[in-house]
Amino acid sequence: MSARVPSQPDLRPPRLGRARDWLIGLTLLIGLLIAVEHRVGWQALIAPWRTLSPWLLAGAFALTAVSYALRGLRVYEYFGPLVAGRFVAVLRLSVLHNTANNLLPMRTGEVVFPWLMRRWFGHGFLASGASLLWIRVMDLHCLVLAALVVLWLRLPGWWWPGLGSLWLALVPLGLAIRQSGWVAQLPPGRVRRVLLFLLDAAPADTWLLARLYLWTILSWGTKLLAFALVLGHFVDAALWQRLAGVLGAELSSVLPFHGIAGAGSYELTGMAAMVPLGIDVGAALAGAVNLHLFLLGATLLLGGGALLLPVGQGVAPAGSERDRTPDDRG
């Protein structure tokens, strides 16, 4: 029996979180405001901005913008023929999705991605969500790889490149599992249908997966470099320590624990990475907050700029085959 889907795009805005999500986010925000005032003081915290080099700030912003563009290119490559010839619309979608993710609490910004894919490209909401899940898996895999690089900078040794190579080997292994067809051999049922649906949304061939992972590495690389440069102005620490702090803070962007505009959760994960490495609690808190202010400023500027990009005309009706499970499609 075929799944029922609407024949026209759903133009209603997505539900951006429950009251509980906003309450948790507000609690984190208030806790952050109190902690900063008690430990550092807001006036002392923002004072270093007066001596921040405009060239460093401009360079970090440019690298961040490049990172956003690479994320848009990754989405464009991922969906291939569905979005062909409409890179500008895909870039707008990708930037707005990241903007929503950075501003809304408890990962509710993720729903913007499948909603816009359905509205602008006619791609099924569930299928878009499944594709986004694979994109997040690539992000998390890349963050672990970056963590291995940080450990290698901290304590150079041949074993770190070895571990990195083994970790990278999991990428083609995942593709091999997808192509093996083992899921199709499972007994019919809900688990089989869900697994087949998720695998159907995954990258289908080696070269596509390689390109997607390349854009993932480049986008994270430019962003981590930009943020490490900014953090270096506020925290006196070695490059590997700053990269560890940025990685910790950015980990909050792929985990469910996320406050309003990341307030509280961003700083907490950043401090959790820096303090054990010998950075003073107050300095780590001040650095994480100022880095977060840079992130929010870049988010608002790039998100506002994305609103100026044209969407163009859609090419497919909503409710396509992509929102039906493989079993439903027979």
The number of folded domains in the chain is 1
Helices 281-306 and 54-79, axial angle in degrees (round to 10): 60
119 contacts 145 by C-beta, under 8 angstroms: no
The residue whose two tokens read 């993720």 is 110
Residue 171 inside a domain? The answer is: yes
Report the distance separating Cα 118 and Cα 124, nearest Å: 6
pLDDT tier for residue 264 given thresholds of 50, 70 and 90? confident
Report the distance separating Cα 117 and Cα 88, nearest Å: 13
60 contacts 230 by C-beta, under 8 angstroms: yes
Report the distance separating Cα 122 and Cα 28, nearest Å: 37
Whole-number pLDDT of residue 260: 75
Whole-number pLDDT of residue 314: 56
**What is the pTM for the complete model shown?**
0.86
Residue 16 inside a domain? The answer is: no
Please give the radius of gyration of the chain, using alpha carbons only, rounded to the nearest integer.
21
Residue 19 inside a domain? The answer is: no
**Nearest Cα to Cα of residue 149 among 239, 229, 222, 22:** 239
7-11, 80-84, 231-235, 312-316: least confidently modelled range:
7-11
Residue 82 inside a domain? The answer is: yes
Whole-number pLDDT of residue 51: 95
pLDDT tens by residue, 179-219: 777 777 777 888 888 888 888 888 888 899 999 999 999 99
Residue 280 inside a domain? The answer is: yes
> For the chain, what is the mean pLDDT?
85
pLDDT tens by residue, 4-50: 344 444 556 665 556 666 676 677 777 777 777 767 777 888 899 99
Whole-number pLDDT of residue 220: 96
Residue 40 inside a domain? The answer is: no
pLDDT tens by residue, 289-321: 999 999 999 999 999 999 999 997 654 444 444
67 contacts 222 by C-beta, under 8 angstroms: yes
Residue 149 lies in domain: 53-323
223 contacts 63 by C-beta, under 8 angstroms: yes
Residue 105's alpha-carbon distances to 34, 86, 196, in angstroms, are 19, 30, 31
Q: Is the pLDDT of residue 63 over 60?
A: yes
Residue 30 inside a domain? The answer is: no
pLDDT tens by residue, 115-160: 999 999 999 999 999 999 999 999 999 999 999 999 999 999 999 9
Residue 167 inside a domain? The answer is: yes
CB atoms closer than 10 angstroms to residue 281: 12
